[in-house]
Every structure is written in structure tokens, then in C-alpha cells.
Amino acid sequence: MKRWATILGRGGTTLIAISLALLLVSLIPQIQMMSSEGSGRLPPGGMQILFYQQNLNPQQELEVAVTADGPLTVYLLEINIELEFSPNTGFVQRFNETDLQQILQENRDLIIWEDTVENGDYKRSYTPTRIMNATAVLYNQLDSESVYVEHDVALKSSLAPGDKVRTIAYFAVPIGVILMIPWLVNMWKERKQSQTPSAIL
């Protein structure tokens, strides 16, 4: 019984030590790697690319905030946008409404988000679970009216996804404390027993 209490107790203290390390990791602040803001009117059937990056990794978090005065759709797609150089216009993104429609109809597995923004604010963040391409797109449906949009996109880098790590630590600490209790009680009893004879003497 005493041995089991020791094994569980040490398991508990180890769990607490791991949780403290996880909490410490989650407290290390994120570094903002990129941020872009913009506003404008999006016509019916119009599309705007908010963000694109090759190799978005699990230590990065993409934050998208959109304010619109009408309905529109925010897509996060698992695609890479290629740039095409033209002497007149410079680099141009090779992705247009037709490409988006093709993905929506034929390659729906490339869609990570498909969120509708009704008149108001929209905010969402994404941390990938592998290294992947990511492109955030705003799209105004053909049958709707022109919409005024304000957007704010940020890419942050951290050691680990803070929320996930913190949640694990919050669950692990109480489990560790519960496992520790019998061990601590045993230790306290042993100390008390060893102190009693000397107190009498």
C-alpha cells in the first residue's frame, strides 16, 4: 500500500512538474511576424485575398478579423498562390474568382474554413497541425449587393499553441495533486512518528 502511494505520489509530482513547464511555455509571449490591415468595397462576385503563405507551421497562428456592412464569406484554403511577373504590372497573384469557384465545386477538401459574415464583426484564428499552404480569401456572392469591408490579418509565432498547452496543464495539475495526497499523508505520518520518541525524551 505504502509503495503504491509512493509510486502514485511521484507520478503526481512529475505530472505537476510537466504542467509547470507547459504553463511556462504558454506564458512565453507570441511574436507578431506579419500584420496587414485594409478596407474597401467588394462588388458582387468579387474576391479579395487577405493572406497567403507557403509552409504555415504548427508554431504559427493566423488571426483574421473582418468587419462588413453586408453578408460575405471568409474562406481559408489549403492552397499556395503563385505570383506571375509582368513588366507592366509587376508581380500579380495567379488566383481569381474562377479558381475559387473551381475549388468550391471540385476540391472541397482544400477548404479549411467557410464562414459567413453577416453585418458585423468576425474574428477567427487558426493554428495548423502540420506544415501546409494557407490562403485566406474574402468572397462576396454574385447575388448579393456591394459590401464595405475592413480587415485585419496577423501572423503570430510562438513555441507552442498556448491554449492547447495551457488546457493540458490545467487538467494535469489537479490530477497530479490528487495523486500526491496519499504520498504526502504518508510522509507526514512518518515524520510525526519519527518526531514522537524524541519529543518524549
Partner 1 sequence: MGKGKPFLEVLASAIHEDFRFPFLELFAFLYTLGTFALANFTVGVYSQMATNEAVAYAVTTSLISFSLLIFLILVFKNIAYGLGNELEKGIIQTYFSYPLKRRAILTAKLLSGIGFSLLLFLGIQISAFYILAPDIVLPQFGTIVLTYAASLSYPLFLSAIILLLALKLRRGGIGLVVGFILYIAMSIVSGLVLIVATATKSPLVLQIMSFISPNYALQYHYGGLATVPELSLPWTPTLYEATLYVVGSYVIVAALFILGYTYFSRRLNL
Residues lying near partner 1 in the complex (CB under 8 A) are found at 3, 10, 13-14, 16-18, 20-22, 24-25, 54-55, 57-59, 128-131, 159-161, 164-165, 168
Question: Smallest gap, in angstroms, from Cβ of residue 144 to partner 1?
Answer: 35
Q: Is the CB of 24 or the CB of 142 nearer to partner 1?
A: 24
Q: How many CB atoms lie within 10 A of CB 23?
A: 16
Question: Smallest gap, in angstroms, from Cβ of residue 58 to partner 1?
Answer: 4
Which residue from 71, 84, 74 is spatially nearest to 49, judged by alpha carbons? 74
d(CA 41, CA 35): 20
Which residue from 94, 76, 98 is spatially nearest to 85, judged by alpha carbons? 94
d(CA 50, CA 64): 8
Q: What is the DSSP letter of 108?
A: G
Q: Is the CB of 2 or the CB of 41 nearer to partner 1?
A: 2
Q: Is the CB of 33 or the CB of 142 nearer to partner 1?
A: 33
Type of residue at 196:
T
Question: Smallest gap, in angstroms, from Cβ of residue 171 to partner 1?
Answer: 13
Q: Is the CB of 20 or the CB of 104 nearer to partner 1?
A: 20
Question: Smallest gap, in angstroms, from Cβ of residue 41 to partner 1?
Answer: 36
Q: How many CB atoms lie within 10 A of CB 85?
A: 8
The tally of CA atoms less than 13 A away on the side-chain side of residue 135 is 21
Q: Is the CB of 46 or the CB of 176 nearer to partner 1?
A: 176
Q: Is the CB of 18 or the CB of 65 nearer to partner 1?
A: 18
Kindly provide the residue ranges of all beta strands, DSSP E only, lying in the chain, ordered along the sequence.
31-42, 47-56, 60-68, 72-77, 83-86, 90-93, 111-117, 120-126, 132-139, 147-157
Question: Smallest gap, in angstroms, from Cβ of residue 112 to partner 1?
Answer: 12
Question: Smallest gap, in angstroms, from Cβ of residue 123 to partner 1?
Answer: 24
